[in-house]
């Protein structure tokens, strides 16, 4: 049945299966500059092919045949009944009612896929006696390759790496971890869970190390997300080149027994976070800010990071990254300062920290896929305190290594 379609029409169908809904809205020059030059190629200049692309995007996004108006649009553009039936045959796998397992992404399977191969309908193979409709890599790559653009498909890093963004789970864990964008992307929903642990100083600058068992979670469902990096929230803007989101995230403190005697504990809190992620040439830059609303320091922490993923093989990926954080005086003084009362109780000198850079870090992460669903990951990093933070009397070591290990399962 698919023989009714020309090769170019098949290519449009293949690539449209990964175009976001936002590509159907008119693009202004400002938004094209802001969201990336690739947006200038959409919508397609050919109205007939654009009608086809629109039909495919709507079919994939809603998992059903588009409204009658869209079907009429195809007919008006010269797609006779036989061609429309061929298009529907290619899109049928995407119109199946989706349960939980069908909705969620398969992260480790996505790592090794190129964009073109990911566009093939997700059927399990041809049923005896029936035709198996699929789009080959060559059909998707040739002539239409200019439509592809970089997009992060490594959602699991949002769940795993943020814990190591600082040497321990302390002070408004606002610094984004590495989540780099290899060429190609997958904007599908996914659920990844796992267990692991982090070995790091008990607090930033502490003399003693502490091992903490940690659960891992990364959920994306439409605009909604839940992970350890950005908390629980939603992506307000999500395109090939930029993501803008907001969420509520935890701000961890430190235990009384981990701090120097007389200093006391720093309670956990809740913060509101906003972030922007920019993707270009394989890199992902992240800028974010967290205002701690309740508990903890009630200060403001801003962060910046740069990551670049390296896919070594189908099973192995490396992720180098660098990052830094800035905090206002309220945060730094509450975390690193020593009050008169604390000084009398601990014997440490009084200290008041002002606003400025808190730390800088460099990390290398490794992800290895054991099966299609199970993977292991490890991260090693080095973090160094900066500014007033490094001169605090509660800081015993300005620079310390840290590590994390986890095993994950992708539904």
**Owning domain of residue 235:** 156-410
Alpha-carbon gap, residue 164 to 307, rounded angstroms? 14
From the CB of residue 25, how many other CB atoms can be counted at a distance below 10 Å? 11
Q: What is the pLDDT of residue 325?
A: 97
Is 141 in the same domain as 160? no
Give yes or no: residues 186 and 305 share one domain.
yes
* pLDDT value at residue 221: 85
User: Could you tell me if 232 and 292 lie in one domain?
Assistant: yes
* pLDDT value at residue 35: 46
Boundary (domain end) residue, out of 85, 115, 146: 146
- Could you give the CA distance from residue 249 to residue 230 in angstroms, rounded to a whole number? 6
Q: Does residue 405 lie in a domain region?
A: yes
CATH number, residue 314: 2.40.160.40
- Give domain status of residue 30, yes or no: yes
Task: Please indicate, yes or no, if residue 8 is contained in any of the structural domains.
Answer: yes
Domain co-membership, 115 together with 161: no
Residues 169 and 83 in one domain: no
One domain for residues 363 and 292? yes
How much of the chain, in percent, has pLDDT values that exceed 70? Answer: 72
Q: Is residue 316 part of a domain?
A: yes
Closest CA to 6 of 40, 39, 52: 52
Rounded CA-CA distance 106/192 in Å is 8
Whether 93 and 123 map to the same domain: the answer is yes
Secondary structure string (H, E, C) spanning the chain: CHHHCCHHHHHHHHHHCCCCHHHHCCCCHHHHHHHCHHHHHCCCCCHHHHHHHHHHHHHHHHCCCCCHHHHHHHHHCCCCHHHHHHHHHHHHHHHCCCCHHHHCCCHHHHHCCCHHHHCCCCCCCCCCCCCCCCCCHHHHHCCCHHHCCCCCCCCHHHHHHHHHCCCCCCCCCCCCCCCCCCCCCCCCCEEEEEEEEEEEECCCCCCCEEEEEEEEEEEEECCEEEECCCEEEEEEEECCCEEEEEEEEEECCECCCCCCCCCCCECCEEEEEEEEEEEECCEEEEEEEEEEEEECCCCEEEEEEEECCEECCCCEEEEEEEEEEEECHHHHHHHHCECHHHHHHHCCCCECCCCEEEEEEEEEEEEEECCCCEEEEEEEEEEEECHHHHCCCCCCCCEEEEEEEEEEEEC
The per-residue pLDDT for 392 is 97
> What pTM was estimated for this model as a whole?
0.60
Q: Are residues 89 and 160 in the same domain?
A: no
Number of domains in the chain: 2
Question: 322 forms bridges with which residues in the sheet?
Answer: 306, 362
How many other CB atoms are found less than 10 A from the CB of residue 26? 7
195 and 138 assigned to the same domain: no
How far apart are alpha carbons 262 and 338 in whole angstroms? 10
Last residue of a domain, one of 112, 146, 180: 146
* Spatial separation of the C-alpha atoms in residues 113 and 41, rounded to whole Å: 23
Residue 151 located in a structural domain? no
Residue at which a domain ends, from 146, 171, 191:
146
Residues 206 and 278 in one domain: yes
Paired sense of beta strands 269-280 and 242-251, if any: antiparallel
Q: Is there a single domain that holds both residue 67 and residue 175?
A: no
Asked if the peptide bond before residue 43 counts as cis, ω within 30 degrees of 0, the response is yes
Tens of pLDDT along the chain (411 residues) come to: 567 889 898 889 888 887 777 677 665 555 554 444 444 456 788 889 989 999 998 888 777 888 888 888 899 999 999 998 999 888 888 775 544 444 444 433 444 443 334 444 444 443 444 343 444 333 333 333 333 333 333 444 444 443 333 333 333 333 433 333 433 344 457 889 999 999 999 999 999 999 999 888 889 888 899 988 889 999 999 888 999 999 999 988 899 999 999 999 999 899 999 999 999 988 999 999 999 999 889 999 999 999 999 989 889 999 999 999 999 999 999 999 999 999 999 999 999 999 999 999 999 999 999 998 899 999 999 999 999 999 999 999 999 999 999 999 988
Q: Is 257 within a domain?
A: yes
Closest to 156 (Cα-Cα) out of 366, 312, 325: 366
Q: What is the pLDDT of residue 22?
A: 65
Do both 91 and 219 map to the same domain? no
For 295-326, what is each residue's pLDDT tens digit?
889 999 999 999 999 989 889 999 999 999 99
User: Which residue in 381, 335, 337 sits closest to 360, CA to CA?
Assistant: 381
């Amino acid at each position: 049945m698919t023989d009714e379609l020309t090769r170019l029409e098949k290519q449009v169908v293949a690539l449209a299966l990964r175009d976001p809904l936002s590509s159907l809205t008119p693009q202004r020059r400002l938004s094209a500059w802001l969201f990336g030059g690739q947006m200038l190629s959409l919508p397609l200049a050919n109205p007939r092919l654009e009608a086809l692309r629109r039909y495919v995007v709507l079919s994939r996004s809603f998992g059903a045949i588009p409204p009658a108006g869209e079907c009429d649009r195809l007919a008006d553009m010269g797609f006779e009944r036989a061609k429309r039936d061929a298009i529907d045959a290619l899109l049928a796998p995407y119109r199946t009612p989706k349960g939980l397992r069908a909705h969620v992404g398969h992260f480790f399977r996505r790592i090794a896929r190129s964009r073109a191969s990911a566009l093939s309908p997700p059927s399990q193979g041809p049923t005896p006696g029936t035709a198996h409709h699929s789009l080959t890599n060559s059909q998707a790559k040739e002539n239409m390759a200019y439509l592809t653009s970089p997009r992060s498909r490594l959602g699991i890093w949002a769940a795993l790496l943020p814990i190591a963004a600082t040497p321990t789970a302390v002070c408004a864990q606002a610094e984004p971890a590495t989540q780099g964008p290899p060429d190609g992307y997958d904007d599908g929903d996914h659920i990844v869970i796992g267990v692991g642990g982090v070995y790091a100083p008990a607090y930033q600058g502490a003399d003693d190390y502490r091992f903490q068992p940690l659960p891992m979670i990364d959920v994306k469902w439409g605009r909604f997300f839940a992970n350890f990096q950005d908390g629980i929230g939603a992506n307000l803007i999500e395109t090939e080149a930029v993501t803008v989101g907001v969420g509520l995230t935890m701000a961890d403190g430190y235990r009384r027994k981990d701090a120097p005697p007389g200093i006391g504990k720093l309670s956990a809190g809740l913060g509101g976070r906003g972030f922007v992620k920019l993707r270009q040439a394989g890199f992902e830059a992240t800028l974010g800010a967290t205002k701690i609303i309740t508990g903890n320091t009630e200060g403001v922490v801003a962060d910046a990071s740069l990551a670049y993923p390296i896919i070594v093989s189908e099973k192995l990926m490396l992720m180098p990254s660098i990052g830094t954080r800035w905090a206002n005086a309220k945060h730094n003084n509450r975390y690193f300062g020593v009050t008169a009362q604390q000084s009398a109780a601990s014997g440490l000198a009084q200290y008041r920290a002002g606003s400025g850079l808190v730390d800088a870090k460099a990390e290398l992460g490794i992800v290895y896929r054991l099966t299609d669903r199970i993977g292991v990951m490890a991260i090693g990093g080095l973090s160094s305190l900066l500014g007033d933070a490094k001169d605090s009397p509660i800081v015993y070591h300005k620079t310390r290594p840290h590590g994390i290990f986890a095993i994950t399962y992708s539904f």
